[in-house]
Amino acid sequence: MASSTQKVVDIHTHMYPPAYVKILESRSTIPLVRSFPNSPDPRLILLEAEVPSLGVAAVTDDGATTTPTHVPGRPLTKHYSSLAQKIHFMDTHNISISVISLANPWLDFLSAEESGPQAKSINASFSAMCAEHPGRLYFFAALPLTAELATVLSSITEASELPYCRGVILGTSGLGKGLDDSDLLPIFSALAEANMTVFLHPHYGLPNEVWGPLASANYGHVLPLALGFPMETTIAVTRMYLAGVFDAVRGLRMILAHSGGTLPFLAGRIESCVLHDGHLVREGKVTAQRRTVWDVLREQIYLDAVIYSDVGLKAAVDAAGGADRLMFGTDHPFFPPLTSDEQGPWESVTLNAEAVNKAVGEGSEEAKGIMGGNAIRVLRLVGE
């Protein structure tokens, strides 16, 4: 980790406030929380890819609950909802400031009537957590995207008035049709207007069939998390680019989770496919004045540094046009250590910190920026 004189900022770090966990406990379809007889912690089951194992684990042929050997999902430990545990995690890893956000799938599954009030109460609980540790915590608010537009817009105004709120966390479903939906433009404009940065985070991955018939019994969560999540982000941002969202809302600023998925690697290919697309050329969309994918990456997009290797991180720095557009993150409470004490250092964190040192040089100005300086500047964070 960085030296103690340098402020480390974690911009990718989640929580589920207790009231949100209660909602998950009351549900019978994903996302849900369920207890199993031989599992000490309740299990958090979020992903479509976990549904096949949920069915096998929960019920026998005669309908009785089994004691499965492989319980689905992941343990819902106190790391997910305890603020004391978040602060302990920060102290353990020398993190000065965390910008916390609700974890996936946010409020996506709530009805139009429920989501407005839930957003208000969840954002209030994030705000209260930040107020307990002034200067150490800020947050990205959750939006009630299943509600009426007016409700979404007023929740942006309300969140922007909360002193520790610096933006919103957003999934890729938007209002149900993805982020290239023109109905989202007033929302993106309102966010830009309020100087709220969008932290774009995946949840839905790719359809289960992509992983093949062996996956659910044999490959754990590797395929949806390592590949599905980054592809989802890549596709969502490329669709926004092709729809002209970044041109329509020039003030929009986004931080992309997981170093932009595969965008740093594929941006050149996206550009070439645009240039060589007969349909786009005929429609007059491939003009000399158009902003390229590279322009958008360098003007409107920041990338987190949650990629676990200097190889990916170097590509991210290049694609972003410089190390000053990258920001360190941990993805806590996901990816806890499985063979060492969860109260000690987490390998998932040290991997990301080491990647920064290897990619841009330990102690360099670039490393200081990625580890904290960039987030402090871009998100206007004031420490203790």
Number of residues that bind ligand URA (CB under 6 A): 7
- The binder of 156, among Zn ion, ligand URA, none, by C-beta within 5 to 8 A per type, is none
Q: Per CB under 6 A, does 104 bind ligand URA? A: yes
Q: Which is nearer to Zn ion, 232 or 331 (CB)?
A: 331
Q: Per CB under 6 A, does 334 bind ligand URA? A: yes
Task: Give me the phi and psi of 283, to 5 degrees please.
Answer: -80, 0
Between CA 169 and CA 118 the distance in angstroms is: 15
Stretch that binds Zn ion, among 51-59, 84-92, 262-270, 327-335 (CB under 5 A): 327-335
Q: Per CB under 6 A, does 46 bind ligand URA? A: yes
Number of residues that bind Zn ion (CB under 5 A): 1
Q: Which is nearer to ligand URA, 49 or 379 (CB)?
A: 49
- Choose, by CB under 6 A, the member of 225, 252, 356, 367 that binds ligand URA: 225
Q: Per CB under 6 A, does 43 bind ligand URA? A: no
User: % helix / strand / coil in the chain, to the nearest 5?
Assistant: 50, 15, 40
174: left (phi over 0), alpha (psi -120 to 50) or beta: left
Task: Give me the phi and psi of 137, to 5 degrees please.
Answer: -130, 135
- Choose, by CB under 6 A, the member of 10, 232, 304, 331 that binds ligand URA: 331
Amino acid letter, 89: F
Q: Which is nearer to ligand URA, 53 or 104 (CB)?
A: 104
Between CA 121 and CA 114 the distance in angstroms is: 11
Q: Specify burial of residue 324 (Cβ count, 10 A radius: 0-12, 13-18, 19+).
A: middle
C-alpha dist (Å) from residue 358 to 43, 273, 380: 36, 33, 27
**Residue 42 per-residue DSSP state:** -
Q: Per CB under 5 A, does 50 bind Zn ion? A: no
**Nearest distance from residue 249's CB to ligand URA, in Å?**
25
- Choose, by CB under 5 A, the member of 50, 180, 232, 331 that binds Zn ion: 331
Please list every residue from 71 through 100 that binds Zn ion, using CB under 5 A.
Answer: none
Residues that bind Zn ion (CB under 5 A): 331
